[in-house]
């Protein structure tokens, strides 16, 4: 019996001691304009442990907090006060940050999120966002948050709306390593080429250790081993679309020592389902709906 417990202990410890984390998707997109400093502050006010955000690169090689590599016509207003259209949405990779900052991405609200507060807001630099949030948590007297940073990358967009993966990665890594204790950061991406590059850099000693999360598309092959073989290493976190987080798959990943944090879970009943399935947290646009989990 003692021998059996010895072998079971690592699995039991992994499954039972991890905190169920609430991650604010793009801050708190359901309530405040996405990927803006007010959205991240709102998420902190609602008690999240992790801020999920996306980054892209500007023409002058600045790391900008933005989900899109263009100005979303649904939410953006140009510096002259004119709503952005599909014809005028631009390309952040072809604009210097000083130009990017002049666009308002909050006053029009978001038709997909009727609870979202309308307010004037801009896309911040990653370094400025981290500085503001670190100051805010101290002012509020709450524990420091973690940062889940997604590199928005697509092989077909290299040279068009993003730099080469090595340059992209170095730009992001250099901001992170100068701004935060690395144990409070994880890097995620849907692009396996990005994940492989970061892993290789860490193995070579060029990057310090940072937790890695693989994002799984809803239409992708959901087989765990197939994706691990494709990735070529074992990530720290597995982030599938929430309907893919079945108890069987969560158990399989936990046995491999991989945490499971699905996206984007916005209904309370779905949050409760993924927690019951054994997941280690949720990524949500509505941190207020996750209270008590």
Please write the tens of the pLDDT for every residue from 125-161. 999 999 999 999 999 999 999 999 999 999 999 999 9
Range of the domain at 36: 21-290
Let me know if residue 226 belongs to a domain.
Answer: yes
Q: Is residue 14 part of a domain?
A: no
Question: What pLDDT does 99 receive?
Answer: 98
The DSSP call for residue 56 is: E
The structural domain count of the chain equals 1
CATH of the domain at 209: 3.20.20.190
Q: Is 161 within a domain?
A: yes
- Burial of 227-262, coded b for 16+ CB within 10 Å and e otherwise, reads bbeeeeeebbbbbbbbebbeeebbebbbeeebbbbb
12 domain-assigned: no
Task: Examine residue 7 and state whether it is found in any structural domain, yes or no.
Answer: no
pLDDT at 6 over 70: no
- 17-50 pLDDT, tens per residue? 468 999 999 999 999 999 999 999 999 999 999 9
Task: Please check whether residue 279 lies inside any domain of the structure.
Answer: yes
- Note the pTM of the prediction, 2 decimals: 0.93
- 2 part of a folded domain: no
């Amino acid at each position: 019996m003692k021998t059996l417990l010895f072998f079971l202990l690592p699995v039991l410890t992994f499954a039972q001691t991890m905190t169920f984390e609430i991650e604010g998707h793009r801050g708190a997109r359901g309530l405040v304009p996405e990927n803006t400093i007010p959205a991240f502050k709102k998420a902190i006010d609602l008690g999240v442990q992790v801020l999920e955000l996306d980054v892209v690169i500007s023409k002058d090689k600045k790391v900008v907090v933005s989900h899109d590599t263009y100005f979303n016509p649904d939410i953006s207003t140009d510096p002259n006060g004119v709503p952005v259209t599909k014809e005028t949405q631009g390309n952040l990779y072809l604009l210097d940050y000083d130009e990017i900052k002049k666009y308002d991405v909050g006053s029009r609200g978001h038709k997909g999120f009727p609870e979202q507060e309308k307010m004037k807001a801009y896309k911040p630099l990653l370094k400025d966002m981290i500085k503001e949030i670190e100051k805010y948590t101290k002012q509020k007297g709450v524990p420091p948050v973690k940062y889940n940073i997604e590199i928005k990358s697509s092989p077909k967009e290299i040279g068009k709306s993003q730099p080469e993966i090595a340059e992209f990665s170095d730009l992001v890594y250099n901001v992170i390593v100068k701004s935060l204790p690395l144990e409070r950061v994880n890097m995620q991406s849907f692009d396996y080429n990005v994940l492989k590059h970061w892993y290789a850099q860490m193995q070579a000693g060029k990057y310090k250790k940072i937790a890695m999360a693989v994002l799984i598309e809803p239409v992708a092959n959901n087989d765990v081993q197939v994706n691990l073989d494709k990735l070529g290493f074992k990530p720290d976190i597995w982030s599938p679309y929430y309907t893919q987080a079945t108890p069987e798959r969560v158990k399989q990943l936990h046995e491999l020592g991989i945490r499971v944090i699905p996206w984007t879970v916005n209904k309370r009943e779905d949050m409760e389902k993924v927690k019951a399935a054994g997941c280690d947290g949720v990524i949500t646009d509505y941190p207020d709906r996750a209270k008590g989990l």
